[in-house]
Amino acid sequence: MHNVLSIDVEEHFQVHNLETGVPRADWDTHASRVEANVQRVLELLERSRVRATFFILGWVAERHPRMVAEIAVRGHEIACHGYGHRLVYSQTREQFAEDLRRSLGCLREALAAAPGLPPVDILGYRAPSFSVTAAVPWALDEIRAAGFRYDSSIMPATGHDRYGMAGVSRFAHVLPNGLVECPVATVRLGGRNWPIAGGGYFRLFPLAVTRWALRRINREGHPAVIYLHPWEFDPDQPRVAGPSAWMRFRHYVNLRQTAPRLERVLNEFTFVPLREALAGILPPPGA
């Protein structure tokens, strides 16, 4: 059974857990660490002979186009994470459509400037913090209208302070508008869906729990979709003052464990990019 590794490419200071300590207007005053962190991820994947899907912020692609091209040259899938890391439900429908357009433009420009790189079709989108929720019923139609063929923005679990949607399939499925929705990994226990194998959950839970969850999902006949961020491979990143102790804990817990844990998981399970895992159900180009 193939599983999926996805990397949400953003700077360490752009995460919502730290937003009270890093105003958006100050982003360009902070030292960038994303290129070095992505390089760590690429080297780990090279050692494990794994290809992944990289959901890249347009804001990052605009400033680091060669990094975007290198990810593609190494055989990984390029996908979209929006432009400015804004929660979808914090935007109007028109603002969201513009965010999609702008982010796609940044990614395409970065890829077009790479010498010798064949054309890259950007198929997938993931909203910051899985912020496609019931509060924005128009979001999936805008994602499809922008030309995306799959989305990975809905968390099929409830109880989190920023995301979650009840009554959604835990696994890849085709929506009425033709878009394929592919949620990240959850397990069902006690009549509820629980996020399990990505971000803070990957760092907080013991490795044995992650392995158990992946095997359980695979026994259900589905790939498990893991998500991580380049800053999670950077235990020496500057600490941000201002956010609550709980938010700081969520961001910084077990950063030194991310790389060794992931390497062990990659060597034990099989992983492919999302576009490959979804190949059998993706709508054809232009459909």
Q: What is the chain's pLDDT, residue by residue, as a tens digit (287 residues)?
A: 899 999 999 999 999 889 889 999 999 999 999 999 999 999 999 999 999 999 999 999 999 999 999 999 999 999 999 999 999 999 999 999 999 999 999 999 999 988 888 889 999 999 999 999 999 999 999 999 999 999 999 999 876 767 788 889 999 999 999 999 999 999 999 999 999 989 999 999 999 999 999 999 999 999 999 999 999 999 999 999 888 998 998 899 999 999 999 999 999 999 999 999 999 899 888 66
Of 278, 277, 274, nearest in space to 6 by CA: 274
Cβ burial of 39 (10 Å; 0-12, 13-18, 19+) is middle
Distance of CA 250 to the CA centre of its chain: 17
The predicted pLDDT at position 117 comes to 87
The encoded tokens of residue 113 equal 């400037």
Closest CA to 125 of 140, 110, 105, 135: 140
Domains and CATH numbers, the chain: 2-277 (3.20.20.370)
Tens digits of residue pLDDT in 25-66: 999 999 999 999 999 999 999 999 999 999 999 999 999 999
> Could you report the per-residue pLDDT of 100-132, keeping only the tens digit for each?
999 999 999 999 988 888 889 999 999 999 999
Q: Are 165 and 140 in contact (CB under 8 A)?
A: no
Please state, in angstroms and rounded to a whole number, the distance separating the CA atoms of residues 266 and 6. 12
**Can you give the pLDDT at residue 285?**
81
- Start-end of H helices in the chain: 34-48, 58-63, 65-73, 93-112, 139-145, 199-204, 207-219, 245-252, 258-268, 274-277
The amino acid occupying position 125 is Y
- The pTM assigned to this predicted structure is 0.96
What does the alpha-carbon distance between residue 103 and residue 81 come to, in Å, rounded to a whole number?
8
R_g of the chain computed on alpha carbons: 18
Whether the CA torsion 10, 87, 106, 69 is positive or negative: it is: positive
∠ CA 29-111-8, rounded to 5°: 55
Q: What is the pLDDT of residue 223?
A: 97
Instruction: Give yes or no for a contact between 168 and 137, defined as CB atoms under 8 angstroms apart.
Output: no
CA dihedral 274, 186, 126, 227 (to 10 degrees): -70
Q: Can you tell me which residue has the tokens 């679990």? A: 157
d(CA 13, CA 200): 16
Closest CA to 222 of 210, 235, 213, 231: 213
What's the pLDDT at 159? Answer: 67
